[in-house]
Structure 1
Amino acid sequence: MTQTTDRGPVHSTTPVLVQGGRRAALVACLVRGATAAGLGLGALAVLVMVVWISSPYPDNGPDGALHIAAGLWLMAHGTELIRTDTLSGQPAPVGVVPLLLVVLPVWLVHRAARDGVIPDPAERRPRPSPRGAICAVSMGYLLVGAVVAGYSRSGSPAVNPLSALVQLPLVTVLAACAGVWTAKGRPAGPLPKWLPGALRLRLVRTRVAVALRAACAGALVLFGGGAVLVALSLVWHGEAVREAFPYLSEVWSGQFTVLLLAFTLVPNAAAWGAAYGLGPGFALGTGASATPLALSGDPAVPVFPLLAAVPAEGAGTPLNWACALVPVLAGLVIAGFTTAAAAPRFVDPALVWRNRETALTAFLGAVGCGVLTAAMTAAAAGPMGSARLLAFGPVWWLAGAAALAWSAVIAVPLATAVRMWRAGPGARVRRWLPRWPGFRRGTGTAPAPATDREPPSAPQPEPEPNPPTSGPPAPSVPAPVPASVPAPAPVPKPAKAAKAAPEAPAEAYDFLPELPRVADGPPHRPDPPEEDRDEEPAGPSPDRPWAAPASPWPQDPDPVTPADPPAPPAPAPKPEPEPEPKPKPEQGQGQESGPV
């Protein structure tokens, strides 16, 4: 290579996004947000255009169909629309948002923000900060939203500018925050630093997390029960539901459109059913309401399949009153979630929460359930027109207060009572419950006894009873003593009756081949032959000394019997004492004197 070639421009093979740095990453997030908005708007536009093309006599041209698509896209964000082509000529607001339609834009924004922050395994491109990603994705999405809102102001239905200015940014930013949170692994903390210290300390406590779970579970049961009530009412009024489709449209394309609209309003109907079961019910126009007690006022109910499930006019019946089971079940669920954490089953009473903490946690769960119910009913209601149709749906603050009252009245005393039972009488009852045969905690079988010893692998024969003896007691056999230590001579001691030596403890591996015992252990006695196991020999025998009359003299062992235990070792002979030396006699004592 030459020097000129070495100094030439370097062509990088890395992507352009990396060369731009973090600024290019923010631009990429901006493009992702605009793409998400275009995808949602395009999906609704395609659906509306297909219905418009399949309609045999459309009311307007393609421009009207595009205005409807833009209005639906804005309504999916909670924006209120205004109908200008009414029979009376007065503009009529449409504020009942199909809640199932909200899923589409929320999912698209969530996905765009998540993909913009998720780390790259190859690390070939930079990633923006979480705040930068939220701002960039939201800005790109809102730019498209501003264009759509400006286009919708000139047609019918038209967008309410104030509602679009509030609802569109709110939904977009919340969905982007959820996407970034998902990309970071859904962390539970840390809490924002701008919160007061005391509040942050209270929020991280265990009872707050338990109360949140209980509140979500109670709200889920509440709205699930409302959906069941609506389904049962639709089946009960099946004839009116079938008549609503041909009344609204005589062609299949129009009826299919009505079916799609009813499907997107199913979550709204569940919220209405939950409010009906709670007691406040829902409004059917100004001055008219439907509750389990009665349908009061002059309802203004448009012809629609879901509205055919509205109860008939007049006083309520026991079937209407039975709807109160829905909030009762929600309260029981909140109490169950609270006691599962405050006083679990079969736990040490010392680990159980106090009554005050249990009651406070259940009450917090009831408050959370009331807040969720109020938010859901507020989103499911709204105006459907002018004059009498301005109030349509459940009243959010009445529904939230009723959910709080039902949950608190049921969950707080029930959770406290269960806690007191499990920490007091329940703990004493559990002490003798496992003693029942066939009973085990939570499974219905008796628990295995806890023991430190290993159970024997093979059954051991039971020791035979000692038969009565009539002769003098047999002398006791001395224990074997090592040869290095002299043992004293055995001295027989009389006893009342000969006692059988206790059997050695069962070995854990007695099914293996027999091995010789250690030197200091007792001698091993082999098992009797197969032919002698069932029938014991009658009469005295050498290996059964207890069956013969006791004798003071030891019996001679039979050398032929192989089962005879080896004779104990003979005691070591006692060393004889050395003779003491005799004293020498003194001179002159006991000795004659010799000749001089």
Structure 2
Amino acid sequence: MKRVIMALVVAIEAVGVLAAGLGVSFIPLILLWMTEYQLGFPFSNVIGFAAATWLLAHRVPLTVELSDVAVQSLGTGSEPLSFVISLAPLGITLITVWAGVTLGRRASASIQPLAGIVGGVIGFALGAWLIGAVLIGDVVGVTGHYVLAPTTIYLISILTGFFYWSVRNNTPLYTRFLGWYEESVTRAVGAHVRSVLSGIRLGLTAGVGVVGVAAAIFACVIVVKYASIMALGQSLQPGWAGALTLTVAEAALLPNAVIWTAAWLLGPGFALGIGSSVSPVATNVGPLPAFPLFGAIPEGTHSWGLLGVLVPVVIAFVLSYRVFANLRDYWGGQVPLLTPVLSACGAAGGGALILGGLAAVSGGAIGPQRLQEVGPMGWEVALWAAIYIGAASLLGYLVSGISARALRWGPFQNDDRM
């Protein structure tokens, strides 16, 4: 009975999380509807637009169809137009991710974690179904699975929080796993595994560091190019409700902009339309919508941008230099020369996973024709992240090991259990 009650409570909480994400777009939209449009269209359309925004934030592509009259009013042609929008405003996505990680943290400390996790996932899935099947109405077409994609994001966030806090707090479940692991493997195998895991953690940490530096750089760019950004915003001539809606939209897209800045630092940069590129070397873009954040894009050629590659290199080198002490602990002082190589490969994989993954989910389509390709290419960012972080990590390990005279040739010979 306690498990059922717990599951119901967590399910209700999950629906509340979903409602919070929905409200981010619903509140400014309803103000815009009341003040700028003077209640000129049905209230159900307001709910539909808010639901569409929530689905878009959870990686559900939408299809927009414009009649010939609407296309003519926009001055973009005379034929009916249909296109896909798939760029997710990650600021709204972060609400779901944060809530999922929080639930995972609580579940890791619970004696009945499965009940809470299952209840939360079921409640969230039911709420996603309600949004995708009922609330969105006929405002836009839904081309993706409106239950599976949002629920997957929520479940991955829960599991991430659960495993992270289980390891960090050394929970009984994690302690039992460690006991089984130490009884099952030899000391040499265990040391290699721990070294690779240390490398993966290093790569993930380096990836987070790159994103943090990108956020700081983007904040400085906003300050420097504030006049250009404000000029674009004023060119739209929004009322106060329109300005509020525009501000919320910009805030929802700030995580995307930070990830694009990280891709710029790594070298691949990002696209703002098919055939365009914004890279550390040069900016080459076509006509863009008058969206204020586009005012922060660098213009022309700028070879100084290549200095950005120093960010992942320096971060990975410093981290690996310090993490080498952990490798010495795993091996009892002297570390086989193969171990830093394996750990650096783990670091390359961890960095590629987090930076390439973030780049992949930060882009998408924002309009018809050439605007179907906006944002960085995930595989390119992952490749360069792996190269920079992996090479810098190996260098840091070798420098630390040579300076401490803690590297040696040959494998670990002892086959005792850990």
TM-score clears 0.5: yes
User: Which residue number corresponds to residue 331 of structure 1?
Assistant: 316
User: Which residue number corresponds to residue 341 of structure 1?
Assistant: 326
CA distance in 2, matches of 1:235, 1:21: 53
The Cα of 1:300 is off from its aligned counterpart by 4.0
Going from structure 1 to structure 2, the CA distance change for 1:59 and 1:323 (only over 3 Å counts) comes to farther
**Percent identical residues:** 20
The Cα of 1:287 is off from its aligned counterpart by 1.3
User: Which residue number corresponds to residue 59 of structure 2?
Assistant: 78
User: Which residue number corresponds to residue 55 of structure 1?
Assistant: 36
Say whether 1:97 aligns with 2:88.
yes
User: Which residue number corresponds to residue 289 of structure 2?
Assistant: 302
CA distance in 1, matches of 2:2, 2:241: 52
**Residues 250-289 of structure 1 correspond to what in structure 2 (within 5 A)?**
250-289=238-277
The Cα of 1:73 is off from its aligned counterpart by 2.2
User: Which residue number corresponds to residue 395 of structure 1?
Assistant: 377
TM-score between both structures, scaled by the size of structure 1: 0.57
- Contact 1:283/1:394, CA 8 A, preserved across alignment: yes
User: Which residue number corresponds to residue 478 of structure 1?
Assistant: none
3-state SS of paired residue (2:271): strand
The Cα of 1:327 is off from its aligned counterpart by 2.8
The Cα of 1:267 is off from its aligned counterpart by 1.6
CA distance in 2, matches of 1:323, 1:92: 35
3-state SS of paired residue (2:47): helix
3-state SS of paired residue (2:355): helix
After superposition, what is the alpha-carbon deviation per residue over 1:71-120, rounded to whole angstroms, capped at 9, x for unaligned?
2222332222333346263223222212121122234455567668865x
Say whether 1:69 aligns with 2:56.
no
3-state SS of paired residue (1:382): coil
After superposition, what is the alpha-carbon deviation per residue over 1:308-338, rounded to whole angstroms, capped at 9, x for unaligned?
122224xx33432332332332332343343
CA distance in 1, matches of 2:244, 2:287: 25
Going from structure 1 to structure 2, the CA distance change for 1:217 and 1:336 (only over 3 Å counts) comes to farther
Say whether 1:351 aligns with 2:333.
yes
CA distance in 1, matches of 2:101, 2:283: 42
Equivalent AA in structure 2 for residue 309 of structure 1: A
Larger of the two Rg values belongs to structure: 1
Going from structure 1 to structure 2, the CA distance change for 1:224 and 1:84 (only over 3 Å counts) comes to same
CA distance in 1, matches of 2:225, 2:247: 17
CA distance in 2, matches of 1:113, 1:330: 29
The Cα of 1:66 is off from its aligned counterpart by 1.0
3-state SS of paired residue (1:84): strand
- Contact 2:124/2:151, CA 8 A, preserved across alignment: no
Going from structure 1 to structure 2, the CA distance change for 1:232 and 1:295 (only over 3 Å counts) comes to same
- Contact 1:29/1:113, CA 8 A, preserved across alignment: no
How many positions carry a matched residue from both structures? 385
3-state SS of paired residue (1:83): strand
- Structure scoring higher RCO (CA < 8 A, sep ≥ 6) equals 2
Say whether 1:384 aligns with 2:358.
no
User: Which residue number corresponds to residue 557 of structure 1?
Assistant: none
CA distance in 2, matches of 1:386, 1:351: 60
- Contact 1:229/1:323, CA 8 A, preserved across alignment: no
User: Which residue number corresponds to residue 231 of structure 2?
Assistant: 243
Matching residue within 304, 307, 332 for 1:319: 304
User: Which residue number corresponds to residue 394 of structure 2?
Assistant: 412
**Residues 552-571 of structure 1 correspond to what in structure 2 (within 5 A)?**
none
Equivalent AA in structure 1 for residue 286 of structure 2: P
Matching residue within 355, 360, 385 for 2:342: 360
Higher helix fraction (1 or 2): 2
Gapped regions of structure 2 (runs ≥ 5): 72-78, 408-418
Say whether 1:151 aligns with 2:139.
no
Equivalent AA in structure 1 for residue 386 of structure 2: L
CA distance in 2, matches of 1:204, 1:31: 44
TM-score between both structures, scaled by the size of structure 2: 0.79
Equivalent AA in structure 1 for residue 354 of structure 2: L
The Cα of 1:384 is off from its aligned counterpart by 1.1
User: Which residue number corresponds to residue 76 of structure 2?
Assistant: none
User: Which residue number corresponds to residue 211 of structure 1?
Assistant: 199
After superposition, what is the alpha-carbon deviation per residue over 1:559-585, rounded to whole angstroms, capped at 9, x for unaligned?
xxxxxxxxxxxxxxxxxxxxxxxxxxx
Going from structure 1 to structure 2, the CA distance change for 1:28 and 1:243 (only over 3 Å counts) comes to closer
The Cα of 1:51 is off from its aligned counterpart by 4.2
- Contact 2:328/2:406, CA 8 A, preserved across alignment: no
3-state SS of paired residue (1:299): coil
3-state SS of paired residue (1:146): helix
CA distance in 2, matches of 1:330, 1:117: 31
CA distance in 2, matches of 1:179, 1:277: 29
After superposition, what is the alpha-carbon deviation per residue over 1:518-537, rounded to whole angstroms, capped at 9, x for unaligned?
xxxxxxxxxxxxxxxxxxxx
Going from structure 1 to structure 2, the CA distance change for 1:170 and 1:324 (only over 3 Å counts) comes to same
The Cα of 1:301 is off from its aligned counterpart by 2.5
Equivalent AA in structure 1 for residue 228 of structure 2: A
User: Which residue number corresponds to residue 119 of structure 2?
Assistant: 136
Comparing 107-116 and 278-287, the one that deviates more: 107-116
Going from structure 1 to structure 2, the CA distance change for 1:256 and 1:227 (only over 3 Å counts) comes to same
Equivalent AA in structure 2 for residue 138 of structure 1: V
Going from structure 1 to structure 2, the CA distance change for 1:303 and 1:333 (only over 3 Å counts) comes to farther
3-state SS of paired residue (1:205): helix
After superposition, what is the alpha-carbon deviation per residue over 1:221-250, rounded to whole angstroms, capped at 9, x for unaligned?
211232233334334433321111112233
CA distance in 2, matches of 1:112, 1:173: 10
After superposition, what is the alpha-carbon deviation per residue over 1:526-560, rounded to whole angstroms, capped at 9, x for unaligned?
xxxxxxxxxxxxxxxxxxxxxxxxxxxxxxxxxxx
Comparing 35-44 and 265-274, the one that deviates more: 35-44
CA distance in 1, matches of 2:272, 2:24: 33
**Residues 346-495 of structure 1 correspond to what in structure 2 (within 5 A)?**
351-423=333-405
After superposition, what is the alpha-carbon deviation per residue over 1:395-423, rounded to whole angstroms, capped at 9, x for unaligned?
00001101111122322123212211221
- Contact 1:342/1:419, CA 8 A, preserved across alignment: no
The Cα of 1:145 is off from its aligned counterpart by 1.3
Q: Aligned Cα RMSD in Å?
A: 3.4
- Contact 1:327/1:403, CA 8 A, preserved across alignment: yes
CA distance in 2, matches of 1:80, 1:203: 45
Gapped regions of structure 1 (runs ≥ 5): 1-19, 120-126, 426-596
